[in-house]
C-alpha cells in the first residue's frame, strides 16, 4: 500500500511536469508578440525592447521556463497583460465560481445517473429500462450549450422563474444560487446521460454474479441488494468515468460560463485568449490540466478504497 | 414443514420441473441426485421462491402449511433465511468480495431480527465456531479473498444458519472443493442438521456424498422425479432404469480392469446426453436413452408407482408390479 502511494504520487508529479513543459512550449511557439499586443502596433522599437526586457522575454527559453515554474510553485503566475493585476488574484476571484459549478454539476450528475442507472438495471428489458436508455441517448446527442439555451428560453424567458444569466456576486447567497441553477442543470444533464448508461451496464454485469443470488437468498429486499451489494461492486467502472467527467465538467464550464455570462475561470480563459494575455492563458491551461490530473489521481486512490483485493496487489 | 404437490415450473420452451411431489419434515435429510440439466437446481431455487423470471408455476408449494406459489417477493423475503436457507455451488463467487465476511453473515440477523451490531457480532462469532472456522474472531474481519475455498463454504453455511432456518438447501456444496474438504463439509452439514433438528436438502451428483449424508433420496431426470426412497435401498436395488444406469456408471475399485477374455473393461455409460428443454420427449423424459424402452414410453408420462410407504418410481415397466 505504501509503495503504491509513493508510485502514484511520483507519477502524479511527473505528469504535471510534463504538462507544464507542453503548455509552456505551445504558448511560446504560438505566433504573436506579447509586447506588441500590449503596446499596440504604433509602439516604437525602443519601447518594445524595453517592455520585452521588463517582461523577461529576452532571456533564454529554458531560463524563462524554470522561472515560470519556480514562481508558479510559490503561487506567482505573473501579471495579466490585459487586466494589469496579478494572475493569481484573477484566479482567486474566479475559482469559487468554477469549482461551485463543477462540484454541484458532479453532485447532481451522480444523483441522477446512479438512480436512473440502478433503476434501469433493476428493470432490465422492461419499460423503465427502455425509457432510461431512450432519454440518455437523447442526453448524449444534445450538446450542453444548446441544452442551456433551451433551458434559458423555457425557465428564464417564458416562465421567468430564474435569471437568464449574469451573476451579482456571492453577497446575496439566494440570488447567487438562483443564478447557478440553470448552468448546473445544463452541465449535469448531459454528463448524467453518459454515466447512467455506464452505471446500468456495470450493474447488470454485477447482477449476474453469484453473490447477488446469495444476498437474495438471505431474504434481503431488492432495494437493499441493489444499493448495498450490487452498486459497490459496480463502482470501479463508474468511478473511472466519474473521474473523466469531472475533468469534462471543469472544462465544460468554459462553454457554460460564456453562455450564462458567469465570472469564472472558463470565461476568464476565453477572454484571455481573445486578448493574447499570455501569462493568464498559460496559468489557466496549467490549472485546468492540474485539475484533470488530480481527478485521475484521486480515482486511482479510490479504486483501492473500493476494492480490498487491490490493496493486497498494490 | 415443506410440501410440494404436483408442483411444476414451466417455461415457454418446456417444463423444467414436472409435477414434483415431496414432503420434508423437520430433521429430514434428503438427497437429490441427477445429471446437469435434470432440474435439481430449478427445484432448489423454487423452494427459495427464486425461480428465474419468465417461469410459470403450477401446483402447490407449501411452507409451514401456506401455499407460496402465488405469493409475492416481499412474502418470500420473510421466509428466506428464517425458514428456508440455501448454500451454493461456488463458494469462491458466492460471497460479496468487497465486504468483510463477518458483516455479510451479520446482515440478515440485523435486517430480519433487528439485532444490534454487538448482538449480531456475538451470534456470528458463535456460528463461526459452530461451523468449525478456526480463529473465528479474526476471520470475521477478513475479506473473502483472504479465505480458502473450504473456509468460504463454512462462512456461507454460517450465513445460511444466521436466522436459524428450519430447512437448509445445499446446492452442490462440495462440487468446487477438494475431495477431503468435501467430506468435511458433508459431515458438517449432517452434524448441523442433527444438532439443530434442521431439515437438509442435499443436492449433488456425487453418489458417495449422498450415501454418506442422507436418509432419503430423490433421483431426478429431465425435470421429473423418477425415483424416491430410503437412500440405502435405492442405491442397492434401484427400480428405475435411469437410476440403474447412473449407478452402473460409477467406477468400482473392486472390479478388475480386464475381463475373463483379457479384454479391457470399459466403464458403462448412459448413451447420449440430457436433451435441451424444448427437445425433451413428451412421455417419459428418459425415452430415447433408456435401454429397456417400450413403445408407449415416448408418448405417455409414466405414473409414479408406490412400492412401499416411502418407496416409489415412475417407469412403465414398474406398472403392474406388486405394491
Nearest residue on chain A to B79, alpha-carbon basis: A219
Model confidence at B320: pLDDT above 60: no
* Interchain contact A217–B (C-beta under 8 A): yes
Rounded-to-integer distance, Cα B240 and Cα B290, Å: 10
Q: Please answer whether residues B130 and B191 qualify as being in contact, where contact means their C-beta atoms are separated by less than 8 angstroms.
A: no
Q: Which residues of A touch B80 (CB under 8 A)?
A: 216-219
Question: Is B37 strand, coil or helix?
Answer: coil
Residues A165 and A250 in one domain: yes
Q: Which residues 151-190 in chain A show a CB within 8 A of chain B?
A: none
Q: Do A213 and B50 touch (CB under 8 A)?
A: yes
Q: Do strands B14-24 and B167-171 pair parallel, antiparallel, or not at all (unpaired)?
A: unpaired
Query: Which residue of B77, B86, B96 to mutate against A (max A Cβ within 10 Å)?
Result: B96
Is residue A249 in some structural domain?
yes
pLDDT of residue A313: 64
Residues A68 and A103 in one domain: no
Complete domains list, chain B, with CATH: 2-221 (3.40.50.300)
Is residue A86 in some structural domain?
no
Q: Which residues of B touch A308 (CB under 8 A)?
A: 97-98, 143, 145
Average pLDDT over residues A49-62: 80
Hey, how many other C-beta atoms are within 10 angstroms of the C-beta on A190?
25
What tens digit of pLDDT does each residue of A189-204 get? 989 999 999 999 999 9
* Interchain contact B71–A (C-beta under 8 A): no
Question: Is B125 strand, coil or helix?
Answer: helix
Kindly report the CATH number assigned to the domain that includes residue A242.
Answer: 1.10.3720.10
Nearest CB neighbour to B80, from listed A210, A218, A312: A218
Is residue A83 in some structural domain?
no
What tens digit of pLDDT does each residue of B105-131 get? 999 999 999 999 999 999 999 999 999
Nearest residue on chain B to A126, alpha-carbon basis: B53
The band of B297, judged by pLDDT with boundaries at 50, 70 and 90, is confident
Q: Which residues of B touch A217 (CB under 8 A)?
A: 48, 50, 80-81, 85-86, 88, 160
The domain of A49 spans 2-73
Q: Which of B117, B84, B115 is nearest to B102 (CA)?
A: B117
ipTM of the complex as predicted: 0.86
Per the structure, how many domains does chain A have?
2
- The sheet carrying B311-313 orders its strands as B84-87, B167-171, B199-204, B29-33, B216-221, B224-230, B311-313, B305-308
Residues A159 and A236 in one domain: yes
Spatial CB neighbours of A196, under 8 Å, sequence gap ≥ 6: A112, A113, A116, A117, A120, A132, A136
Is residue A112 in some structural domain?
yes
Is residue A139 in some structural domain?
yes
Rounded-to-integer distance, Cα A214 and Cα A228, Å: 13
Q: Do A308 and B98 touch (CB under 8 A)?
A: yes
- Supply the DSSP string of chain A, one letter for each residue: -HHHHHHHHHHHHHHHHHHHHHHHHHHHHSS--HHHHHH-TT--HHHHHHHHHHHTTTS-HHHHHHHHHHHHHTT---B-TTT-SBHHHHHHHHHHHHHHHHHHHHHHHHHHHHHHHHHHHHTTTSHHHHHHHHHHHHHHHS-HHHHHHHHIIIIIIIS--S-SS----TTSHHHHHHHHHHHHHHHHHHHHHHHHHHHHHHHHHHHTSHHHHHHHHTT--HHHIIIIIIHHHHHHHHHHHHHHHHHHHHHHHHHHHHHTT--SHHHHHHHHHHTT-HHHHHHHHHHHHHHHHHHHHHHHHHHHHH-HHHHHH-
Residues A43 and A172 in one domain: no
* Interchain contact A209–B (C-beta under 8 A): yes
What tens digit of pLDDT does each residue of B164-223 get? 999 999 999 988 888 888 999 999 999 999 999 999 999 998 888 899 999 999 999 988
Q: Do A307 and B97 touch (CB under 8 A)?
A: yes
Residues A140 and A244 in one domain: yes
- Supply the DSSP string of B48-88, one letter for each residue: TT-PPTT-EEEEEEEETTEE-TT--HHHHHHHBTTTEEEE-
Is residue A183 in some structural domain?
yes
Nearest residue on chain B to A309, alpha-carbon basis: B145
What's the whole-model pTM score? 0.83
Q: Do B111 and A312 touch (CB under 8 A)?
A: no
Residues A205 and A286 in one domain: yes
The band of B278, judged by pLDDT with boundaries at 50, 70 and 90, is confident
Nearest CB neighbour to A214, from listed B88, B112, B145: B88
Is residue A98 in some structural domain?
yes
* Interchain contact A313–B (C-beta under 8 A): no
Residues A22 and A136 in one domain: no
Q: Do B145 and A312 touch (CB under 8 A)?
A: yes
What tens digit of pLDDT does each residue of B160-177 get? 999 999 999 999 998 888
Is residue A81 in some structural domain?
no
Amino acid at each position: 500500500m505504501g509503495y503504491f502511494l509513493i508510485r502514484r504520487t511520483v507519477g502524479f508529479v511527473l505528469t504535471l511536469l510534463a504538462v507544464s513543459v507542453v503548455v509552456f512550449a505551445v504558448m511560446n511557439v504560438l505566433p504573436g508578440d506579447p509586447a506588441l499586443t500590449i503596446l499596440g502596433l504604433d509602439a516604437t522599437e525602443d519601447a518594445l525592447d524595453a517592455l520585452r526586457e521588463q517582461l523577461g522575454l529576452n532571456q533564454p527559453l529554458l531560463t524563462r521556463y524554470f522561472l515560470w515554474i519556480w514562481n508558479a510553485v510559490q503561487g506567482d503566475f505573473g501579471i495579466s497583460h490585459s487586466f494589469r493585476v496579478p494572475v493569481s488574484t484573477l484566479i482567486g476571484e474566479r475559482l469559487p465560481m468554477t469549482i461551485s459549478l463543477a462540484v454541484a454539476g458532479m453532485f447532481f450528475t451522480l444523483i441522477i445517473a446512479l438512480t436512473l442507472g440502478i433503476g434501469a438495471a433493476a428493470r432490465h428489458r422492461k419499460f423503465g429500462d427502455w425509457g432510461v436508455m431512450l432519454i440518455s441517448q437523447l442526453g448524449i446527442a444534445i450538446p450542453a450549450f444548446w441544452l442551456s439555451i433551451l433551458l434559458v428560453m423555457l425557465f428564464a424567458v417564458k416562465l421567468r422563474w430564474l435569471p437568464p444569466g449574469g451573476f451579482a456576486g456571492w453577497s446575496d447567497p439566494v440570488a447567487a444560487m438562483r443564478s447557478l441553477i440553470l448552468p448546473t442543470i445544463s452541465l449535469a444533464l448531459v454528463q448524467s446521460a453518459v454515466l447512467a448508461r455506464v452505471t446500468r451496464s456495470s450493474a447488470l454485469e454485477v447482477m449476474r454474479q453469484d453473490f447477488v443470488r446469495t444476498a437474495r437468498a438471505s431474504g434481503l429486499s431488492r432495494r437493499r441488494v441493489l444499493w448495498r451489494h450490487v452498486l459497490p461492486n459496480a463502482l470501479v467502472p463508474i468511478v473511472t468515468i466519474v473521474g473523466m467527467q469531472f475533468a469534462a465538467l471543469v472544462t465544460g464550464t468554459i462553454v457554460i460560463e460564456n453562455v450564462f455570462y458567469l465570472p469564472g475561470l472558463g470565461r476568464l480563459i476565453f477572454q484571455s485568449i481573445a486578448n493574447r494575455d499570455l501569462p493568464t492563458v498559460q496559468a489557466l491551461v496549467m490549472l485546468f490540466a492540474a485539475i484533470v490530473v488530480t481527478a485521475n489521481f484521486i480515482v486511482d486512490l479510490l479504486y483501492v478504497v473500493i476494492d480490498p483485493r487491490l490493496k493486497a496487489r498494490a | 414443514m415443506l410440501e410440494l404437490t404436483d408442483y411444476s415450473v414451466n417455461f415457454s420452451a418446456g417444463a423444467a420441473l414436472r409435477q414434483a411431489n415431496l414432503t420434508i419434515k423437520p430433521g429430514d435429510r434428503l438427497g437429490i441426485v441427477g445429471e446437469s440439466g435434470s432440474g435439481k437446481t430449478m427445484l432448489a431455487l423454487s423452494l427459495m421462491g427464486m425461480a428465474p423470471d419468465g417461469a410459470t408455476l403450477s401446483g402447490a408449494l407449501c411452507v409451514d402449511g401456506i401455499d407460496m406459489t402465488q405469493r409475492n417477493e416481499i412474502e418470500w423475503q420473510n421466509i428466506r433465511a428464517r425458514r428456508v436457507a440455501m448454500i451454493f455451488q461456488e463458494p469462491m463467487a458466492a460471497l460479496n468480495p468487497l465486504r468483510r465476511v463477518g458483516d455479510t453473515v451479520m446482515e440478515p440477523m440485523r435486517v430480519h431480527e433487528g439485532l444490534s451490531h454487538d448482538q449480531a457480532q456475538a451470534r456470528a462469532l458463535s456460528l463461526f465456531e459452530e461451523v468449525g472456522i478456526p480463529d473465528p474472531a479474526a476471520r470475521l474481519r477478513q475479506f473473502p479473498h483472504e479465505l480458502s475455498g473450504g473456509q468460504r463454504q463454512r462462512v456461507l453455511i454460517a450465513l445460511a444458519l444466521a436466522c436459524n432456518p428450519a430447512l437448509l438447501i445445499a446446492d452442490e456444496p462440495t462440487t468446487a472443493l477438494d475431495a477431503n474438504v468435501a467430506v468435511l463439509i458433508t459431515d458438517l452439514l449432517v452434524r448441523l442438521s442433527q444438532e439443530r433438528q434442521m431439515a437438509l436438502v442435499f443436492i449433488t451428483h456425487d453418489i458417495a456424498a449422498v450415501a454418506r449424508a442422507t436418509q432419503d433420496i430423490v433421483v431426478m431426470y429431465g425435470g421429473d422425479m423418477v425415483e424416491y426412497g430410503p437412500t440405502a435401498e435405492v442405491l442397492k436395488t434401484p427400480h428405475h432404469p435411469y437410476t440403474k444406469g447412473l449407478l452402473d456408471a460409477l467406477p468400482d475399485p473392486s472390479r478388475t480392469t480386464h475381463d475373463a477374455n483379457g479384454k479391457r473393461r470399459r466403464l458403462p455409460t448412459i448413451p447420449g446426453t440430457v436433451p435441451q428443454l424444448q427437445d425433451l420427449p413428451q412421455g417419459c423424459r428418459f425415452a430415447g436413452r433408456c435401454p429397456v424402452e417400450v413403445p408407449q414410453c415416448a408418448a405417455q408420462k409414466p405414473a409414479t408407482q408406490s412400492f412401499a410407504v416411502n418407496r416409489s418410481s415412475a417407469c412403465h415397466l414398474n406398472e403392474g408390479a406388486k405394491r
